[in-house]
Amino acid sequence: MTNQTLRKEFQKILNSVVIPEGLSSSEIQEKIKPVDQFIWTHMPAKLFKYRECSERNIDAFNKDTLYAVTADMFNDPFDTLYSYNQKYIIDSIKFGATREFISGMQQRVNSGQPIPEEIVKFYGDKAVDHFVALIMQITEKEMDSFNIEQKHIDAIISILQIVNFVKTFGITCFSEDIQSVIMWSHYANSHEGFALEYDLRGFPLIKKTNDNLNNDCKQSIYANTYPIIYDSKRFDATTTALFSLCKTLNIDVKNPDTTCFLKSTLHKSYQWSYEKEWRLLVCKDDCDYSAPIPFSVHPKAIYYGNKISQINKKRLHLIAIEKGIKEYDMCIDYYSNRFYMKPKYIRSSKL
């Protein structure tokens, strides 16, 4: 199975999972099980984090610290940006204010017919009763006075443009590929930086409650790692966009698919497919995402860029010795006709 085929298979599994708001923990676990099983089966033993030789990155290496940030800090303005059918949303809102819809709902209730399932799912079992009560209070005269003006439509559109950017997770990015010339050029300061190797298998939950590293958070930190799905189109989240719009307008509705933000976060343009990216997504209970979220993971090895300075290499080497991890130089194979960097094993550092 090729890398892209594997990710397409993951896309199929992920998009088939729909978890409406309000399910129990056991129901959620059962529905998400196919996604977890895929990750457990296919997650690589080695994932790589490319780094520049900044003081912060060297200090983070020394302290076994990684940072998760929201996607608005990334270099791709489309990152986590989902798409939605604006016409469908506007038409849905307009239709909800028509005589046809209001009168039809009243006739259903008066004749004892059940409320349409999609409406029950959207509002939830409790809120739908309030919705029906409001519908039943509308008079024939009031039906004719309902009007959605253009200024209301413009306001809705402006809200939609704000709410379709996912900030539900802190994100840390890794690559399956340590030999990519482009990755070393883009993320390791044109080969002057370094890369760290991690084994994230069996790393679904990070518990960091009131410790020195996360003393701003009184709750646990939850995390899991997923492969990025590369596609030619952004993830379509029309139903969730309508939900987000209603929540922004203080309308109490239920999220039809709580996995929507996860799906959007894991979809990127196929133009980035060379990165072979996996993402560790971090969720914090009752915590602010405006600042980077630190957490601790011990690396397995360090790789030195082909153009790294001797000063920086020496500093990193001393840390690697203290940690007891393997060290590699990234070299050009002058006897090969291929464009890739070749890791050369230096030594197994020992305390």
What the block records as the tokens of 179 is 């030999």
Q: Are 289 and 269 in contact (CB under 8 A)?
A: no
Q: Are 245 and 88 in contact (CB under 8 A)?
A: no
Tally of CA atoms within 13 A in the half-sphere of 48 that contains its CB: 22
Q: Which residue has the tokens 């676990």?
A: 29
Q: Which residue has the tokens 């307008």?
A: 249
Which pLDDT tens digit goes with each residue over 129-148? 767 777 788 887 777 666 66
Which pLDDT tens digit goes with each residue over 7-64? 999 999 999 999 988 888 899 989 999 999 999 899 999 999 999 999 999 999 999 9
Q: How far apart are CA 295 and CA 60, in angstroms?
A: 10
> H or E segment at 337?
none
What the block records as the tokens of 68 is 């998760």
Sequence-ordered strand ranges (E) for the chain: 47-51, 65-68, 170-175, 194-198, 205-206, 221-227, 229-231, 267-269, 277-284, 293-296, 301-304, 326-332, 341-348
Q: Are 22 and 124 in contact (CB under 8 A)?
A: yes
Q: How far apart are CA 306 and CA 342, in angstroms?
A: 10
Q: How far apart are CA 308 and CA 304, in angstroms?
A: 7
Could you report the average pLDDT of every consecutive run of 10 residues in the chain (351 residues)? 89 93 89 92 96 97 93 86 80 72 82 80 67 78 67 60 65 96 96 97 56 46 87 87 71 80 91 96 70 88 97 96 95 87 80 39
Angle between helices 86-96 and 99-110 (to 10 degrees): 60
Please name the amino acid found at residue 3: N
